[in-house]
Structure 1
Amino acid sequence: MVSFFFCTLSSFIFLCIHVSSAADTISANFTLSGDQTLLSSNGTFKMGFFKPGNSANFYIGMWYQELSIQTIVWVANRDKPVSDKNTSVLRISEGNLVLLDGNNLVWSTGLNSSSAHDAVLQDDGNLVLRDDSGSPLWQSFDHLGDTWLPGAKIRYDKRTKKSQRLTSWTSSEDPSPGLFSLELDESTAYKILWNGSTQYWSSGPWNSQSKIFDSVPEMRLNYIYNFSFFSNETESYFTYSLYNHANVSRFAMDVSGQIKQFTWLNNNNQWNLFWSQPRQQCQVYAYCGSFGICNDKSQPFCQCPRGFRPASQKDWDLKDYSAGCVRSTELQCSRGVINEFLPLTNVKLPDNNSEGLLGSTSCRSACLGNCSCMAYAHEETSNRCLMWSNDVLNLQQLEEDNSEGSMFYLRLSASDMPRNSPSGKSNKVMIIGAVLGSLGVVALVLLAVILILRSLRMKRMRGEKSDGTLAAFSYRELQNATKNFSEKLGGGGFGSVFKGALQDSSVIAVKRLEGISQGEKQFRTEVVTIGTIQHMNLVRLRGFCSEGNKKLLVYDYMPNGSLDSHLFITQTGEEKTVLGWKLRYQIALGTARGLAYLHDECRDCIIHCDIKPENILLDSQFGPKVADFGLAKLVGRDFSRVLTTMRGTRGYLAPEWISGVAITAKADVYSYGMMLFEIVSGRRNTEQSENGKVRFFPSVAATVLTKDEDIRSLLDPRLEGESVDTEELTRACKVACWCIQDEESHRPAMSQVVQILEGVLEVNTPPFPRSIQALVENDGSVVFFTESSSSSSHNSSQKQNHSSSSSSSKKTTNNNSSA
């Protein structure tokens, strides 16, 4: 009635405008301004004005509505901010969705059509501009920012030869397009570019047979994301969806220059980094800008060399290092002005603007004689002088033992060079005389100290434990013992392992740790705690070194190497002696005993977090030893970030790492189950067959078990003809399938696994794991095992309680459990 009154007022003729609109829609007569927002119909995404960080600018953007951390997934006016959201308006005008700042046009969808009717924020985060019939005229999914949501596509147009790009923000407070972008090229490979030109990472071409990108092998075992690649005569594109739509996930071209995949952890209310490329920050081209030095071992990653300072300290504080470093004192190139060269040792040389001269000319003189020469290096292999003019990009500090390191000489004003305090000749003579005089006084004291240190060193080099715990080695001692870390035994996410020998000729394995940030006291305390954990199926920690950032662990050397070297044929075709079934079964049982000890018999439950064949070492009698069991404790409880930086372990990760629930010892059980399958088959769980199809062994084993097929078909073909205990083989396959159940409550504890493998407990046929069977739900009852003397009619909870409290007639004593 009121509306009718205003529309028919007799004194005036008004145009009656219906201003109501759905919460997710901008209609022709609805505007968005101030604190007004749009909300998708399912409540997932919200759109409105926002201000990033401490910035004074406002942008129209889209973010997740229900997450505690505001995460922007799309920005309309990313390079044209507005200063006042109350005087700015988003509306439909002349067939376009436009953003106006007063009367000034800030942003527009840029269509020539005049048929736009409304714009709707969809449940998938896509903003769609539609005509009267509801057909899309424009959509935000075709104009991506830095974030790639499920359902969106990154395209390559075969007609125009142009790619759709995912482009990073400039900084955390500036959503304008940054220097790093991801795009699809004509070879069907995704690549990351710096400044739209220099490529520094590629996914490799799409393999249509295995349905993965060649350089992203971890896609083989993915059960969270459903990836799809399409190509026709006009375009190619890649898209993805989530198997479980309750999960929240996104890809982002980060300001770090890395493409990152995140999943939301509901329990922790934070984003979990699931995957990223390139893995090392300094692999990002020119990350530290001109004259900036990148170091993967430092925080922050970028530093300015002596004589330089950040071009913009504010940008550096926001982790935007693209402007690089500038000189503290500008160079002068005139007669009488002295310039000198600052030597930078063990660096990866910049790869831009280098000029080569024959080595017959002095590199230093040649650079001094050229006013545009900013730096030089001598290339020994070609006997050339390399000189850099203008900017020096992609300068990287390497580790001391990296053979690729070079000497780099950076031109500086003489006033910026490190120098001793000026003094006359007489002062130098006085200093030398004082030093020589003092030498006579302290000679006896130094001799006594040397003798004492030599005695302590001899004890340490013999591995003697002066405090009843571990031997504390110096870095130089371990450097000598390993011959400057020359014989590498292997490596992983926590560091590299080197072979060495102490002065008593005992052989050791030295692990040089990476990513360990504890202080000296905390590190020593935790290492000594780990050193007290002793079990015949755990590698013995003999000592450690902690000198600043140099942190190393010293273990007993295992002469038969790691389990993977005996199970799998190497890439070079090398194959060691095939392990027999009895030996494999004992290795599986011994590993289970070691894990059960860590989980149940230590003062604190220790979760290994990286169980795989590479971390099971074999002694001279092929006895299994679980290695790296203390490293998860040393790096702290933020395991998710550590694991995502590891290589080759994705196939052993339990589903809860991604779904966000708290990690328990059952994560190790899952990894153990995956490894047990590989012990049975003698092959990686995922491999490509001769016809190009990908074979996933756990699915094959689960099919054989659930359909009661021939269990021997799962055995390593190299064991054909060997007398194999079928009961042991069946028991191993069943317990492995129980271990990889999706719900961690459905998995047995490692102590129960030990009892099953020992034959104390009978194991029932497991259900088909949902993640393997295309996420098909299993409605059957969940039963791990029954007592061998019990009735099969007991329900699962009765059996579990009964098995843990009663003693079976078949139960045997495990003499290792208390070791």
Structure 2
Amino acid sequence: MSSRRVSLFACLLIFSFFYIWLFDAVGAASHTISQGQNISQGQMITPSETITSEGNMFELGFFNPGGSTNCYVGIWYKHVSEQTIVWVANRDLPLTGSSLFLTISKEGFLVIIDDRITYRISDNSLGQNVSATLLDSGNLVLRNDNFDILWESFDNPSHTFLPGMKVGYSRKTGKVWSLKSWKDAQDPSLGSFEIKMDPKQPNEVFLVRGSEILWRSGVWNGKSAFVSIPEMRLNYIFNYSLIEDENETYFTYSLYDSSVLSRAILDVSGQVKQISWLESTVSWNLFWAQPRDIGQRCDIFCGKFSFCSSYKLTCQCLHGFVPSKQQLQQDLSGGGCVRRTTLDCENSIPVNKSQDRFLRMDDMTYPAVASRVVKIQDAKDCRLLCLDNCNCSAYAYNGSCLIWNGDILNLRQRPKKDPDGRTIYLKLAASEFQSPEGSKTFLWVIVTVVAITVLLLSASCVMYHWRKRLRMRETRGLITSEDILLFDVDTGITNGNGEIFGSENSNWGTGRRKDAWLPLFSFASVSLATDNFSIENKLGEGGFGPVYKGKLLNGQQIAVKRLSRRSRQGLEELRNETMLIAKLQHRNLVRLLGCCLEQGEKILIYEYMPNKSLDLFLFGATTENSLGWATRVRIIEGIAQGLLYLHQYSRMRIIHRDLKASNVLLDGNMNPKISDFGLARMFGGDESQANTNHIVGTYGYMPPEYALGGLFSIKSDVFSFGVLLLEIISGRKNTGFYNSNSLHLLGHAWDLWTSGKSLELMDPSLRDVSSANQLLRYINIALLCVQESATERPTMSDVVSMLSNELTVLPSPKQPAFSNVRSVGNPNACLSSRGENCSVNEVTASVMEPR
């Protein structure tokens, strides 16, 4: 009995070792098919056999697209939730057999066997001892015993362009690497479109349909991008390259972070898309797409000096040009157009006597030919550079001077106000501007100027008589509610009864400005407008007091800020706001309509913002009011323009000191208006900074030099803008954000930036961002704004240039201030020494906790 047990134990032990050995052998070979082995198509019960790359990145096997009966061998991502095919072996021959095998024949071919049909995948016999291995790059390679690559799927791409693949050609063998679209979303057979390079026109990629050129990338800029794909420049994910030697020319790319899943595809509509997988949204995110206006684009290549109209979808000659051949009136893709009138310099007229001029063309794409980039800081110098060069046909200025010599090719007209539209200046002979249309335009200008002059004279006459009548009535003591009383924001004096706004000891400043008067509303009219300050009309409340919605008798909606009588907080700030905002005029600053000083009340009346404040959209409890990316871009740019005006273009340099999401109001068209100037400081002359021991502001938006040392400057507002920019991008509060390390949003953004995962900062509601490159660029700008050292932060002038000019080279940011400070217990708390609601916040430097 005992010997039987020993024998049974020995058998079990031997079987276990054999099972483990067999499991290891199968596991070790799971990414390779050796000669004589195969993987089979699955049946009703048995799933298809597959091989997986060593790092479990990709999988190879049989698949049926869209549930069809057609069967293909393909490669797809292993851990992406929806099967995403990146390569198809037999796209030109779908198989429908019930017993399919993928194997390596005895001759060394990689083949699919369907009963008696043998479909060759590899194009030549490779001999004995051949194996097929699926690599973590997604490349299927056939190798011999010496691990020499004899054939690879990367040499035979389908519609997907993976990192490490090529688009180009071999001069030595004539091999062409190109992408070919699927027939439709469920059919991987050959579609209508192809992306390839042409040996006759090197350094450029073409989208073709048969022999017809539909789009071209523009030539390689010599560094990192094709000139017609601006998204390729200055990105932080892809390292694009154009390789050219005596044997081959090809375009390829790699990833700075190999853990990122990214691919480019040529989709069924003919659009090239660079997309990346985001685990945070469990979806593919679009990085860039070309041609951008697919579905409404010009499906033709326009010849020289012609352009494709986005409205007519046909090629048209540029102004001053005519078709080079009469038979090409309807098809300018061949000979294109020629000048109707030669330039002066072409007629041997000296440059200094030339009368050539430039035609401004808005909403255009840049020409699909190489431009010469000249570092010139003035648009006028750029114009003169092109004018002095007879070979120069056009120029553009966007911070740098772009010069196009010779023929202008494949111009595209974009829809009006399209953010991708560019302004180009086309050189023409002076006679091209002396047309009947030009004369009519000039005549209309004269008529308009005369009409405006007459209206201004009439208005001046009316104002003169009104003021004369008002002075007479004031002399007689007959001022009534019919007349508009005015309040001087410089002296605090009304033009009616001489009442001074504020306490008897307050000093409102000296001097009087004719343009510093505000309309003075009666308390009765304000009370009537707000339904006696009813709770139903209350919009909110800050440290100064409540804000109400109101409606004047003329139907105009207003916002009424009423200083609370129960607290002295806000009196100085309200006075400060009145003095400042009454003198400011900018479309991105909230407009002050007037004030009310009767019966001890101190009330400010503003234009009403129907969409309230930005924080309600960013941090609201529901996603019903979530902002799209285009709207966020418009809000970001508007805030930047408003700050630039305060810092540089207003009468006095003004520092806001309390820029935050709740102080950005939104009008009916979602245009931003900076509000709440109670904490603002005004500088004169060359002043740009000051020091204080009375620190005011909101936690999370103050830079370290102010929060810890009381020093504030225009760079303080830049820091606040950077924080606000990150909040707009992420939809998260800076001081209300927590992750595993309880860091602020600044620290979280920095961690993602340094790890190459900045796209994960994106608000989850922004799945359809059209340009992830723009989002990454904005994150870069935000991080530059929140750097610890104020001297290293850009000015708002620099920020506006960075936001609007995609050619501006962005420096790498340094670690943000407070990025390693843990969040406070109450992230929404204001920095205030009082227990009141505080839009106006204050704290002394001594209570701030250092980094």
Calculate the TM-score normalised by the size of structure 1: 0.44
Rg larger in structure: 2
